[in-house]
Amino acid sequence: MKIATWNVNSIRTRLPRLLAWLERRRPDVVCLQETKVADDQFPFAELAGLGYTALVAGQQTYNGVAVLARAGAEAIARRLPDEGDDAQRRLLVARVAGLTVMSVYGPNGQEVGSDKYAYKLDWYRRFRAFLEASAKPDEAVVLCGDLNIAPEDRDVWDPEKWRGQIMFSDPERAAFRDLIGWGLRDSLRLHRQEGGLFTWWDYRAGAFHRGWGLRIDHVLLTPALAARCHSVEIDRDERKGKKPSDHAPVVVTLAD
């Protein structure tokens, strides 16, 4: 089984690339972030044409997450329990082929010390509580998404430059460790230990070509699924060419 996560940074803009990528790679499950469309504007028909059921939790212009599945899927939750209908669309939990799949778009936080930074840390506290209440580490859980956190020094192109900055501050990294501490495994680090394995590069300053990236997109697995994790790939080719997202897809292959 192939499970992927990809922050497409607007599904409208990226749809041709997404469809071509799905045809080429044929993942079984895809978690999308930053779809940036209301639910009634999501391209259900185009994805159904490739054999994918789509579950969505979207909003106009900002945020938005989705789960695509070839085997069909059932939505369990589209927001945290304490959020109202006007909540930012950052979470979709689905049942797919016996798995609990979570597509997560963690808040960016904008700047350390800002109101948005405080919101980010609070959101992760509430998400951790949701995880504790709604799932168990001995179940088959896949947490995918753009978490907007680079967990370790090797996940940043210049740790000293980024130290204490947004996506790399100590409280954010502690929030990531809290997720791992619940009972998750970082799929990439099951197979590869080196630095330089980035998933996001700023559009500005030629960051991609200069290797100025961060690893902020993750696929986290409970132990039973981690034991089946055959390989993990960051598809850097999707950061190249015309109109790419600023994120690359991450693809995990689980043994049957």
Catalytic residue positions, numbered: 105, 146
Q: How far is it, in rounded angstroms, from Cα 11 to Cα 124?
A: 25
Q: What are phi and psi of 64, to 5 degrees?
A: 95, 130
Assess contact for 106 and 147: CB atoms under 8 A: yes
* Amino acid symbol at 159: P
- Closest by CA to 178, choosing from 108, 144, 138, 131, is 131
Q: How far is it, in rounded angstroms, from Cα 212 to Cα 198?
A: 9
Q: What are phi and psi of 126, to 5 degrees?
A: -70, -35
Name the pairing type of β-strands 2-7 and 29-33.
parallel
**Which residues is 53 bridged to in the sheet?**
69
- E-state strands within 120-238: 141-146, 185-186, 200-201, 213-214, 217-221, 229-234
- Closest by CA to 34, choosing from 55, 53, 60, 52, is 60
